[in-house]
Copies of this chain bind each other. A is one copy, B any other.
Amino acid sequence: MTTTPAHSPLVDLRSQRFLLDEVFDLPGLLGLPAFAAHERDDVDAVLEAAHTLATEVFLPQAAEADREEPRFVDGRVLLPESTRAVTRAYAEGGFNAAAAPAEHGGLGLPYTVALAADGLFMGANTAAAGYGLLTRGAAHLLLAHGSAEQIRRYAQPLLAGRFFGTMCLSEPQAGSSLGDIRTRAIPQADGSYRLEGQKMWISSGEHELGETIIHLVLARIEGAPAGTRGISLFAVPRNHVDAEGRVGERNDVQLAGLNHKLGQRGIVNTVLKFGERGACVAELVGQPQQGLAAMFHMMNEARIGVGMGAVMLAYRGYLYSLQYARERLQGRPLDNRDPASKPVPIIEHADVRRLLLRQRALVEGGHALCLYAGSLVDLKAHAATPEARAEAALLLDLLTPIVKAWCADFGVQASDHAIQVLGGYGYTRDYPVEQLWRDNRLNPIHEGTNGIQALDLLARKALAENGAGLRALNQRIESTLGEAAQHPDWIEATVALRMLAQKVGVSAAAVASRLQRGEGALALANASHYLTAAGHLLVGWLWLRQALAAQAALQAGRGDVDFLQGKLQTCRYFLKQELPAAVHAIGLVSSFEDSFFAMRQEWF
């Protein structure tokens, strides 16, 4: 495969452009004052540069990074030399700072564009991409919550790619339950803190890729209350950084061990000990006991990143299996009984097309969902009116857990199908699809398990401000359905989507009323089904938007006719074959189906 647009191994470039321009109105976004410095062509140049770097530098290193796992030797982490080359090329390309403001050395691009570029890196080599994305996330958090001094000493070198960043939340006894973390912060006379505790599942927690690592760590200041409201956020440089920004001796942060994973093996995953010698210097970031809210700045960015990463790993598998299915000759059409006739490409077998079309529906649908969430990040910060900014914030809150969990769940399913298309070759390590599947399997777990995302959605986001997020979403869906009603092709689809949207709204209201009656446990039991239904609703809606945009382009004689017909057919597929799963799922929610809720421990 080459890196020419028609055969990108990472993304259908026609679809990427179609989503940005025809569906999500990137030109409109670039018209906002915040992005006045950028023309549409600049965006193309950035995405092309990202695509070239992703295919030429990230992609060829992916298999090696998987094979040559990080090793723990004499307290150090040894990575393959090629990892350094990849992360350096990323920083030198300016991608750490793509979405940061120009005053901090950034390019000031819309987050939507940075996210689209991230997707290319993650699809090519999710492990290597993780180093840069965590670094950027840490920098963005400090830009939002750090002091001017912290921005200068930490955030700017992070954006420049000289330092690397991490997020340190989980502890061995407290994985998903952040209220139970025990890491202590002891105030010092000079205003700094000493940290003591252990953190687990820390990606990029120790390595020698940059000058130092800035850990962003959740801890509890001595005397703070129990639970999540007692948590504060700290910046902990692995090496001390003096007032002039010079990197000095090591701080008291020790590598306790590595986790050996089934996928994403190229990004080192560590257990870290802070303050084992009582000398771990930490700086408070933001206000005391406001740590979790600040950390969520980074977490939410990471959640959207996980969703995008899951989609793009699956996207690569889809394109690889599509190419394979076009080239691999095997068998004959069912109505051809002549054994002497020539075998056909396996894409001619209906069940192979099913596996391919389902992948396309999931990856292009997921890609649309992620880019839409990206546009909400931009609009939340930069939309023209306060009302538009508030509405974007509401919608973004609602969408974030769905982007993370839905894309991860269905990304793994799509990656599974890529293996199936290749048959025996699919499960051999000479072909990339098995690694894509393994790499993708982390996504339903890390940055908050999908079960946690589902509770966040149904117990908080769907109910916030009396369901204002869902109402805002519903308005937008209704606007699309109104448009679709003018096309006889989509009448059935509008009925199905409207009914589903209503059920998603009504179910949330029913859950809210149960919660008020103190019957929350049963009401929330089916939260995962709720998230699936809401995700299908969103993706179905975005498929319909893609179909309407494709019809408009066809009528206007714009674009590649085959590609646009494919969009229409994939939309039909999603609505016919996938959407009904959401109807079943939301029915379980609204009927408070209790079969696993009522299952007793002792009955297992």
Q: A residues within 8 Å of B by Cβ?
A: 170, 173-177, 179-180, 200-201, 225-228, 230, 259-263, 322, 326, 329-335, 339-340, 343, 345, 347-358, 360, 412, 416, 419-420, 423-424, 426-430, 434, 437-438, 441-442, 444-446, 449-451, 454-455, 459, 518, 520-521, 524-525, 527-528, 562-563, 565-566, 569-570, 572-573, 576-577, 580-581, 584, 588, 593, 595-604
Contacts and interface: CB of A to CB of B under 8 A. Distances in A.
B446 A424 contact: yes
B437 A420 contact: no
Contacts of A521: 333-335, 350
A573 B599 contact: yes
A348 B599 contact: no
Contact of A597 (B350, B527, B566, B599): B350
Contacts of A438: 262, 438
Contacts of A175: 330, 423-424
A342 to B, nearest CB: 10
Contacts of A173: 329
A534 to B, nearest CB: 16
A320 to B, nearest CB: 13
The majority secondary structure among interface residues of chain A is helix
Contacts of A228: 339
Given A226-B339, A428-B260, A593 B566 contact: no
A84 B581 CA distance: 48
Contacts of A345: 601
A228 to B, nearest CB: 7
A599 to B, nearest CB: 5
A345 B334 CA distance: 53
Contacts of A573: 595-596, 599
A262 B595 contact: no
B451 A427 contact: no
A324 to B, nearest CB: 12
Contact of A595 (B170, B343, B357): B357
Contacts of A353: 596-597, 599
Given A427-B263, A566-B604, A569-B603, A330 B176 contact: yes
A596 B180 CA distance: 49
B428 A445 contact: no
Contacts of A598: 569
A350 B519 CA distance: 14
Given A451-B349, A521-B350, A428 B599 contact: no
B176 A423 contact: yes
Contacts of A449: 420, 423
Given A330-B177, A441-B427, A599 B566 contact: yes
Nearest to A323: B604
Given A263-B427, A352-B451, A430-B260, A569 B584 contact: no
Given A428-B259, A429-B261, A437-B441, A226 B340 contact: yes
Contact of A518 (B335, B349, B444, B572): B335
Pick from A424, A577, A601, A604 the residue with the most CB of B within 10 Å.
A604
30 contacts: A173-B329, A175-B424, A180-B343, A201-B424, A226-B340, A262-B438, A334-B521, A335-B520, A347-B604, A350-B524, A350-B525, A354-B525, A354-B596, A355-B451, A356-B599, A357-B595, A360-B604, A416-B441, A420-B451, A423-B449, A427-B442, A438-B438, A565-B603, A566-B603, A569-B599, A572-B595, A573-B596, A576-B588, A581-B584, A584-B584
B588 A176 contact: no
Contacts of A352: 451
Contacts of A326: 601
